[in-house]
Structure 1
Amino acid sequence: MIDPQSSMRVIHTHPIRIYYEDTDCAGVVYYSNYLRFAERARTEMFRGIGFSNIEYSKCEGITFAVRRCDAEYLKPAFLDDLVEVDTGNLDLQGASFWINQNVRRYRDLLVTMRIRLACVDKEGQVSRIPKQLLTNLQKLNRTVS
């Protein structure tokens, strides 16, 4: 279980507006959509440090795959809400890393996630994180939001 009260050092925040397509018939965000929101936030975090999924895939032959995801759903989000996905607490390793992501509406914590991403090559084999990207992630991890 993820401890929703544990402190997370936020290194990136990404806003998400909740649209009709994100909700069920009651106007509540469908649980799997939080994973899409987290993916968008990670993509924008990477883009902010000069990492493009497409360019790294073409030039370096690597990409990141979700190896594990633990999520705890605390409160619902609703149609037309503006939520934010906070990303932080990177635990960097040679070929993978853990990352925490929280979805919140103002100060209300809605969902907590702990995700492990693995760097893989075109054949799907584990590969070391490229040095420049690892350096940029380490720098980002040292910043204070």
Structure 2
Amino acid sequence: MVHEFPVRVYYEDTDMGGIVYYANYLRYIERARSDWVRTLGVDQNAMREGDGVVFVVRRVEADYLKPAKFDDALLVRTVVKAVTGVRLIMGQEVLRGADLLFRAEVTVVCIRADGAPARLPANIRRRIH
């Protein structure tokens, strides 16, 4: 399953050189993951309140390949690479047309309110497969 999420680069996203500030790519891919979870029919507030768990990013490995600039129309593409009982590994890319600008591998896990690790809820694992 591939999820696509459009992003527009605003002036506030850029640095003094007029290119997207590196940390903003992490914001773009976070928004895309949140949108992807929503399209699966997962209510993260209900997950927190009902299951007592929340998603957190455990690891990000990122490659910055080409710069994005003010007013660029970007597309964030998300794919699931692996799902286990405790982790979800996703590949994410930011594209401008056919140009690959950024790619990341993101590992997401669940934690309880006390910060202890928790298994991914079974209903979520089923929706991902």
Q: What corresponds to 1:24 in structure 2?
A: 15
Is the 8 Å Cα contact of residues 80 and 88 (structure 2) preserved in structure 1?
A: no
Q: What corresponds to 2:97 in structure 1?
A: 106
Shift of 1:79: 0.4
Shift of 1:90: 2.7
Shift of 1:67: 0.7
User: Alignment partner of 2:107: what SS?
Assistant: strand
Is the 8 Å Cα contact of residues 40 and 127 (structure 2) preserved in structure 1?
A: yes
Q: What corresponds to 1:6 in structure 2?
A: none
Q: 2:87 aligns with which of 78, 96, 116?
A: 96
How far apart, in 1, do the equivalents of 2:63 and 2:31 lie?
19
Q: What corresponds to 1:85 in structure 2?
A: 76
Name the % identity.
Answer: 38
Q: What corresponds to 1:74 in structure 2?
A: 65
How far apart, in 2, do the equivalents of 1:64 and 1:104 lie?
25
User: Alignment partner of 2:30: what SS?
Assistant: helix
Q: 1:65 aligns with which of 38, 56, 62?
A: 56
Question: What amino acid sits opposite 1:52 in the alignment?
Answer: D
Bigger fraction of residues in strand: 2
How far apart, in 2, do the equivalents of 1:75 and 1:109 lie?
7
User: Alignment partner of 1:63: what SS?
Assistant: strand
RMSD of aligned C-alpha atoms? 1.0
Q: What corresponds to 1:142 in structure 2?
A: none
**Pair 1:122 & 2:113 matched:** yes
Instruction: Give the stretch that moved more between structures: 100-109 or 83-92.
Output: 83-92
Unmatched segments (≥5 aa) in structure 1? 1-9, 139-145
Question: What amino acid sits opposite 1:80 in the alignment?
Answer: D
Q: How many pairs are equivalent? A: 129
**Pair 1:38 & 2:29 matched:** yes
Moved over 2 A (4+): none
How far apart, in 2, do the equivalents of 1:42 and 1:74 lie?
21
Q: 1:12 aligns with which of 3, 21, 33?
A: 3
